[in-house]
Amino acid sequence: MGAAQSRIGRSGPLTALLIAAAVVAADQLVKLAVRDDLKLGEQRDLPLGFHLTRLNNDGVAFGLFDDGGALVTVGVTALGLVGIVLVAAIAGRTKLPWAGAATALIVAGAIGNLIDRIALGSVTDYLDPPRWPAFNLADAAISIGVFILVVALWRSRPEDAG
C-alpha cells in the first residue's frame, strides 16, 4: 500500500469527523432545498428514469411501518444511537483500510435522518428511482458506508483486525 493510499485508507479521527460533518451538512441542505422547492408529493423528471419526488417517510427504511407515529420515532432514534455506537466501536478497534471513512458515512447518514425525525417527525426522501423505494443522501451514505465496511472486513486478513 502506497503512502498516499495509506493516509487516505486509514483515515484518522479528524478526517472521519470532516467527512461526517460534510455529509450531514450536504444532506440537510439538499433536504431543505427540496422542502422549499417542491410540494409534498410533487415530482420532477431526472435522467435515467429517476424522479425527484418530495416524500415524508414516517416509517423506517423504505417506508415500512409508515404512520407509526411517536413509537417509530423513538424506536428508530434508539436503534440509530445504538447502531452509531456499535459501528464506531467496531471501526475504532480495527486497522482496516477505509474503516474510519466508512464509519463516518454511516454515522453521518444516521445523524442526518435523526435530525429530520426529531425536528420534523419524519424523514424527507426525494430520490425516486424506478422499481425502488425513494431515498435521500443520508440513506445513500449509510448504504455506501456499510458496503465499504463489509468489503473491507471480507477482504481483511486476521492481523488487520487487531
Give catalytic residues, as residue numbers: 125, 139
C-alpha cell at position 70: 411517536
The type of residue at 39 is: K
Asked if residue 137 lies in contact with residue 112, where contact means CB atoms within 8 angstroms, the answer is yes
Cell triple for 79? 436503534
Closest C-alpha to 27, from 141, 148, 160: 141
Exposed, middle or buried by CB within 10 Å (0-12, 13-18, 19+), for 82?
exposed
